[in-house]
C-alpha cells in the first residue's frame, strides 16, 4: 500500500531548472513565483498546491528530493509557503536521487514509519534517475513528469490509483 509520495523540485514543481543559481535578495511575486536579484524567476506549475494538499489529505507522507543547496531550497519553499507541506526534505548538492530517497526513508524510520520501496511514488522530470533508484532501492513506483504524467491533476489520479490498486509501472523504462 502506498505510504509516501516524493517529488523532485526543479522542472517538476516549478519551471526553473536550478534554484541554486538564485541570488539574494529573493522576493515572492504574486503567490506562485519567486524572483532573485539577477532576474531569475521560477513559477509553480499549475495545480501543484492543490495536488500537494490532496495528497496530504489522503493521509500520505510527502517528501521532496532535490539536487539543490539546502539553504536555497528552504528559502524558496518558505517564500512560496510550501515548506510546511513536506514531511521530509532531502536537499543535497549532488544529483543522486536514490541517495535522497534513502535519506527520506531513514528520516521516516526515525519517526516510526517503516516504508518499503513499493510503498513509495516518486515523480521526477528526469528519467535518468530511475535506474539507480530501482537498482539500489527496489520497486519504487517512478513516474517521469510531463511524460508518464502530464499535469498535477494526473499526479493526483496516479496517486489515487496506487492507493486503490497497488503498485504499477515499477519497471517501465
For Mg ion, which residue of 2, 5, 7, 10 counts as binding (CB under 5 A)? 10
- From 20-28, 54-62, 120-128, 133-141, span contacting Mg ion (CB under 5 A): 120-128
Distance in angstroms (rounded) separating the CA atoms of residues 102 and 108: 10
10 or 118: whose CB is closer to Mg ion?
Answer: 10
Count other C-beta atoms under 10 Å from residue 97's C-beta. 26
CB of 164 to Mg ion, least distance (A): 28
1 or 128: whose CB is closer to Mg ion?
Answer: 128
**Sign of the C-alpha dihedral computed for residues 148, 142, 119 and 107 taken in this order:** negative
Residues β-bridged to residue 141: 121
CB of 129 to Mg ion, least distance (A): 9
Strand ranges inside the chain, DSSP E: 4-7, 27-29, 33-35, 41-43, 61-67, 88-92, 120-124, 141-144
For Mg ion, which residue of 11, 56, 107, 127 counts as binding (CB under 5 A)? 11
Tell me if residue 154 falls in helix, strand or coil.
helix
Q: Does 119 bind Mg ion (CB under 5 A)?
A: no
Distance in angstroms (rounded) separating the CA atoms of residues 139 and 22: 35
Distance in angstroms (rounded) separating the CA atoms of residues 13 and 11: 6
For Mg ion, which residue of 35, 74, 125, 154 counts as binding (CB under 5 A)? 125
Q: Does 144 bind Mg ion (CB under 5 A)?
A: no
Q: Does 8 bind Mg ion (CB under 5 A)?
A: yes
118 or 152: whose CB is closer to Mg ion?
Answer: 152
CB of 126 to Mg ion, least distance (A): 5
67 or 88: whose CB is closer to Mg ion?
Answer: 67
Residues within the interface to Mg ion (CB under 5 A): 8, 10-12, 125
Amino acid at each position: 500500500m502506498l505510504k509516501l509520495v516524493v517529488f523532485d523540485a526543479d522542472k517538476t514543481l516549478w519551471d526553473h531548472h536550478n534554484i541554486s543559481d538564485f541570488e539574494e535578495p529573493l522576493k515572492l511575486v504574486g503567490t506562485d513565483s519567486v524572483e532573485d536579484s539577477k532576474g531569475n524567476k521560477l513559477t509553480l506549475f499549475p495545480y501543484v498546491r492543490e495536488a500537494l494538499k490532496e495528497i496530504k489529505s489522503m493521509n500520505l507522507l510527502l517528501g521532496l528530493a532535490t539536487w539543490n543547496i539546502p539553504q536555497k531550497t528552504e528559502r524558496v519553499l518558505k517564500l512560496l509557503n510550501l515548506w510546511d507541506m513536506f514531511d521530509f526534505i532531502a536537499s543535497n548538492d549532488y544529483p543522486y536521487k536514490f541517495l535522497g530517497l534513502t535519506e527520506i526513508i531513514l528520516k521516516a524510520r526515525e519517526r516510526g514509519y517503516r516504508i518499503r520501496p513499493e510503498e513509495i511514488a516518486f515523480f521526477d522530470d528526469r528519467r535518468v534517475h530511475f535506474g539507480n533508484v530501482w537498482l539500489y532501492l527496489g520497486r519504487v513506483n517512478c513516474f517521469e513528469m510531463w511524460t508518464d504524467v502530464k499535469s498535477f491533476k494526473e499526479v493526483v489520479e496516479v496517486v489515487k490509483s496506487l492507493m486503490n490498486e497497488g503498485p504499477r509501472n515499477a519497471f517501465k523504462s
